[in-house]
Amino acid sequence: DTEVTQTPKHLVMGMTNKKSLKCEQHMGHRAMYWYKQKAKKPPELMFVYSYEKLSINESVPSRFSPECPNSSLLNLHLHALQPEDSALYLCASSQGEVPGNQPQHFGDGTRLSIL
Amino acid sequence: GIQVEQSPPDLILQEGANSTLRCNFSDSVNNLQWFHQNPWGQLINLFYIPSGTKQNGRLSATTVATERYSLLYISSSQTTDSGVYFCAVNRDDKIIFGKGTRLHILP
């Protein structure tokens, strides 16, 4: 079991649907991350929140909308996605306010399929 | 931007064998982390090692920051070691993963 919990584990949605991915950690970490991973590729950083504020947005399309309601929760809201957005979405967290300066701990991911 | 290269890209070994995986990076980095992604997609921390040497059971890692490389050693391989091994570096708030080494351990 990982200390970063992601739900749902699998999600199938149509291109017109709106859905949300959720991530939760109770390690007191102050930085949280969303990554996208395509098959046989490394994870690619999408967003970083530091102390509940968006600190990094790696030029991600607006159909992906992150939200950090509190220090333990991170959401990724999805709307009007394209088939090429099908991927494994990974959440991670780390201590400290500078992203990447402490070890990152990953959740098990949400496997997303867009029909 | 900074480049991260891992070698070899693929490795097939018999159970019990030893292996060395390499991660080269093109510029100085703040931090380096090794991960194992198992066949179910779980990404597991192995080492956080910006410099020096660390050991954890059959695994050990060494980072020589001045020469811009890190090595991951796996001894007495087991089938559960199969999967993809990634190194990831951090510099100026950029977090960059290498393309990984895909390891197959045969029983």
Decide if B30 and A102 are in contact by the 8 Å CB cutoff. no
Q: Are A11 and A112 in contact (CB under 8 A)?
A: yes
Q: E strands, B1-107, where?
A: 4-7, 10-14, 19-25, 31-37, 43-48, 52-56, 59-64, 69-74, 83-91, 94-97, 101-106
Question: In this predicted structure, what is the pLDDT of residue A91?
Answer: 97
Question: In this predicted structure, what is the pLDDT of residue B71?
Answer: 98
Segment A31-76, tens digit of pLDDT: 999 999 999 999 999 999 999 999 888 889 999 999 999 989 999 9
Chain mean pLDDT for chain A? 92
Residue A9's Cβ-count burial label (10 Å; 0-12, 13-18, 19+) is: exposed
The letter for the amino acid at B68 is R
pLDDT: which is higher, A21 or A101: A21
Pick from A42, A98, A109: CB nearest B86? A42
- The helix/strand/coil state of A3 is coil
CA distance B17 to B77: 5
Segment B68-103, tens digit of pLDDT: 999 999 999 999 999 999 999 988 778 899 999 999
Decide if B93 and A100 are in contact by the 8 Å CB cutoff. yes
Chain centroid offset of residue B55 CA: 13
Question: In this predicted structure, what is the pLDDT of residue A32?
Answer: 94
Decide if B41 and A98 are in contact by the 8 Å CB cutoff. no
CA distance A100 to A50: 11
Would residue B92 be called left, alpha or beta, if left means φ above 0 and alpha means ψ between -120 and 50 degrees?
left
Q: Is the pLDDT of residue A25 over 60?
A: yes
Q: Is the pLDDT of residue B57 over 70?
A: yes
Q: Is the pLDDT of residue A1 over 70?
A: no
Q: Are B19 and B73 in contact (CB under 8 A)?
A: yes
Size of interface A-B (CB pairs under 8 A): 55
What average pLDDT does this structure show over B44-58? 95
Q: Which two tokens stand for residue A17?
A: 């649907």
**Band of residue A98 on the pLDDT scale cut at 50, 70, 90:** confident
Please name the residue that has the structure tokens 């490394």.
A42
CA distance B10 to B32: 21
**Band of residue B1 on the pLDDT scale cut at 50, 70, 90:** confident
